[in-house]
Amino acid sequence: MTETCTRKEFAARMGWRSAGQVSNLIRDGLIKLTDDGKLVCVAESIAAIEAARDPSKQGVRDRHAAARGEGGQGAAPEDRADYHAARAKKEHYASLTAEADYRARIGQLMESADVHATVADAMVTLRGALETLPDVLAPQVAAMTDEQACRTTMADHIETALAECARRFEKLKGEGL
């Protein structure tokens, strides 16, 4: 059978000055009550409170316990290590997120979907221009007898196609993507 007590008795057992702390922990879901909601289930509530404790605050709890004349229990070293590792990981990713936000604001970082769309647009434009070169250049080059004039005409048309492609890429910088 589960050990139970009143809220006031539980507060006294935990060394709290008032039952108000019990009410706060009930609201937070850390105190388990009996089905009728009148009594505190002691073992389950203590286990839930211990599981939710922040191991980094153990020093504060120990000092308060010492001031009350009790011995501090201290958190297990592996619990502190797990907590600190998780906290360090959280801080690391928060830092990376803040850096990414900053770099995006100053234009050093772009959304990959925007880059993909711009590159696809530029490549479609370039492909279209290159595919039309034979139809556009064949009649012009066929009538030419000077080889250098043929090269110049072809180079001009290729340069026009590449310039249009470059203009599409400049859109990345111009729109702040």
pLDDT tens track for 94-133: 999 999 899 888 888 888 888 888 888 888 888 998 899 8
Instruction: Please tell me the predicted confidence (pLDDT) of residue 9.
Output: 92
C-alpha distances (whole Å) from 50 to each of 3, 17, 76, 108, 140 are 17, 19, 12, 46, 86
User: What whole-number distance in Å separates Cα of residue 99 and Cα of residue 120?
Assistant: 28
Tokens of 174: 């111009």
- The stretch 16-23 carries a mean pLDDT of 86
Instruction: Please tell me the predicted confidence (pLDDT) of residue 118.
Output: 84
User: What whole-number distance in Å separates Cα of residue 114 and Cα of residue 175?
Assistant: 10
Evaluate if residue 83 carries a pLDDT over 80: no
Evaluate if residue 33 carries a pLDDT over 90: yes
Instruction: Please tell me the predicted confidence (pLDDT) of residue 16.
Output: 85
Instruction: Please tell me the predicted confidence (pLDDT) of residue 78.
Output: 60
C-alpha radius of gyration, the chain, whole number: 36
Tokens of 75: 């958190």
* In contact, 80 and 55? CB cutoff 8 Å: yes
Centroid of chain to Cα 101 = 11
Tokens of 48: 């839930």
Question: Residue 166: pLDDT band by 50, 70, 90 thresholds?
Answer: confident
Instruction: Please tell me the predicted confidence (pLDDT) of residue 42.
Output: 93
Listed range (19-33, 64-78, 96-110, 151-165) with the worst mean pLDDT: 64-78
Instruction: Please tell me the predicted confidence (pLDDT) of residue 54.
Output: 78
Instruction: Please tell me the predicted confidence (pLDDT) of residue 77.
Output: 55
Give me the residues paired with residue 41 across strands.
4
Determine the length of the chain: 177
Higher-confidence residue of 62 and 21: namely 21
Evaluate if residue 81 carries a pLDDT over 70: no
Instruction: Please tell me the predicted confidence (pLDDT) of residue 1.
Output: 72
Question: Residue 71: pLDDT band by 50, 70, 90 thresholds?
Answer: low
- 40-70 b/e with 16+ CB inside 10 Å = b? bbbebbbebeeeeeebeebeebbeeeeeeee
* In contact, 25 and 49? CB cutoff 8 Å: yes
Instruction: Please tell me the predicted confidence (pLDDT) of residue 97.
Output: 92
Evaluate if residue 174 carries a pLDDT over 70: no
At 39, is the secondary structure helix, strand, or coil? Answer: coil
